[in-house]
Structure 1
Amino acid sequence: LKVIAIDEQLRVIYEDNVHFDKDLPEFKTQGGVYIHSDRLTVTSPVLMWVKALDMILEKMKSSGFDFTQVRALSGAGQQHGSVYWKKGSIQMLKNASPELPLHQSLKGCFSVSNSPIWMDSSTASQCSALEKAVGGPQHLARITGSRAYERFTGNQIAKIYSQNPEVYKQTERISLVSSFAASLFLGTYAPIDYSDGSGMNLLQIWEKVWEKSCLDACAPGLEERLGCPVPSHSVLGTISPYYSQRYGFSPNCKIVAFTGDNPASLAGMRLQEGDIAISLGTSDTLFLWIQEPTPALEGHILCNPVDSQTYMALLCFKNGSLMRERIRNDCASGSWDEFSKALSSTVAGNNGNLGFYFDVMEITPEAVGIHRFNKDNQKVLGFPKEVEIRALIEGQFMAKRIHAEKLGYKVCK
């Protein structure tokens, strides 16, 4: 959990973090999560998140941070994860005693104590059922911006309902991680925002309303448990009296809707129409600002957090930095300098030589293996080292462009 305070000139005046494994060892998480014995189910304890918030605010207080100066706050949460509030919890949230840390007041509030998160991949049967119920994966993508994904919240809710109908029955509200965090500050249930809500397989992204066919396929009485979605930049209200009394926040401090980490990245990088941002990590991620999206079976279309009338696209490529590092090790003696020199020594277009490099099963597209083609479009077994390096880089970036264009991105000349 990270906190950052900025002034009106956007200068950072305070930052800190709580490390779940190290600072909250009593929860016994690894990387902030529990990986269950089936290796598919991945959860995080909800109370650990609440306790981390208590801890970070106490650290700020003891450092002398002046909470009275905070005019507004907002946040970002990991996408897709969900929190299940037990019947009657809203009263506990509204009436939390400022004498106690919040995690003590809320310890009986959650019908599911370990929240399913984005790393979970245990809902394959629910995904198939959802796609079947709405007329297939492409139709689901046209409605919600994505085909059914195991980590997406609708499928996680469907699993909880089918495996523990009693637990679902005891649940009065379902939050995303982002709206859950906003609820803690608001002292009442915060709505889900359009942008994070687009990562659930439940939101009709064109009208920004819950899609009845998807809700019905996942669980009964789901709409009232989700509440009405709102634009991502909505001011939800003022801070709960709990924080004014315990930490000294101004009662006029505004709470702005929290959103998902990916939409927040698009907003934080100040992308505008036509812009692309590429994150080159273990997986490569593409963020695009799109006016007229065309949802496809690969990639995701989300409502834009900055401008509710437009969209953002998200594409994830699994073979990212590890693939580049392997070719660097094989062709450039493990040196990025050598790799760059080799890349510069070849011409753009690589004289027609092209390669697709997937050491692990790729997401976009679903393919694996190394596939090389010469200028005559014939498959070949290998390339000279410098040709291999350019084939890798050009192949990766061409794939990004092609898949972005499939989702409706237009490359301006």
Structure 2
Amino acid sequence: MTAADRAAALFAEKHGGASSAVWSAPGRVNLIGEHTDYNDGFVLPFALPHRTTVAIGPRTDRQLSVATLGSDGHLHDGPVVAIDELRPGNPTGWAAYPAGVAWALRDTGFELGGANLMIVGQVPTGAGLSSSHALECAVALALLNTVHHAPGEPGAPSLGEIARLVQRAENDFAGAPTGLLDQTASLACTEAHVLFFDVRTGDAEQIPFDPRSVGLELLVIDTRVKHSHSESGYGQRRRGCERAAELLELKALRDVASDDLAATLAKLPEDLRPLVRHVVTENDRVRATVDQLRAGRYAEIGPLLTASHVSLRDDYRVSSPELNLAVDTALDTGALGARMIGGGFGGSAIALVPVADRDRVEHAVRDAFERQHLAAPRLFTAVPSAGAGRDR
């Protein structure tokens, strides 16, 4: 049974009738370009095949009902909340994510009549693969569908506008100060491509990315160390970047020229210099990666991935012992490059690995975690997949 079939069946079981539509949105891997999005920089994500699926049925009483199939295999009901009473703090917990989307749509002027939502998620939570944004994007499209403003319908908001609505829900309702990377990736990525996205201008280019075609795989190593943007040092790093830009009298750190980096850093307090250095050099690494991919030189992106990890570990200071162990072990056993992904403080790493070395790298990583008495990591190949859409 597909996730769409499962969501539709659970909806019918709970509500006594068929859902009107089923939408889904994927998690993502950011190939490179970490912590650059909220600095108006460049990112290079692709969508995963792992998706969050939402079956929806419209209501006419302006109430929002949410339920989800938990990882324990049981159905978990959220509160039933009046659309007009939605506000940050009401509701809380996991239900804040779908409710926040309804709140953002309502406040933007969409006349939601209410809805029943049934959620089935396949994106690992807390793994740095953007499970919350997969949920929010699927809910946004499903709710827009109930008022005839889903993509492709007359008067529908653009994918960029939907991404900003989801960002507002995440920032102002759920309390996680994320940028635009995750929402844009979930909505706009296409199969067998990475999305070269300029956050400031909104310019986007689909760059072909099919590692298997050249005998490579991109291995995801989920350390199973949970992280949360709303609880981690993510917000502290973001505020540091904003302070640095203010001191430099710039709109964002994206405006620091690479050639002027040394002189720019000299103008800043010592605690802010590493943050700025990471953002500027990471933007350079994104552009260099794009150049290599355009030329079909996939193996050449390996050192760029590793340099990104070193910068995130040493300058931005958002890695963790488990992430470092995953990266170092992969590099020691055949990976061409590796780095942590996501906000940091846990979650996942990626490793660019020759297909012939995949098993050896996997076994080495598992053995390294076992020797450190850590939970067994979850490993899988990341396959660039399609973005959000309607399933039925």
TM-score (norm 2): 0.27
- The structure having more radius of gyration, on CA atoms, is 1
* Higher helix residue share: 2
TM-score (norm 1): 0.26
Q: Of the two structures, which has the highest relative contact order with CA contacts closer than 8 Å and spacing of 6 or more?
A: 2
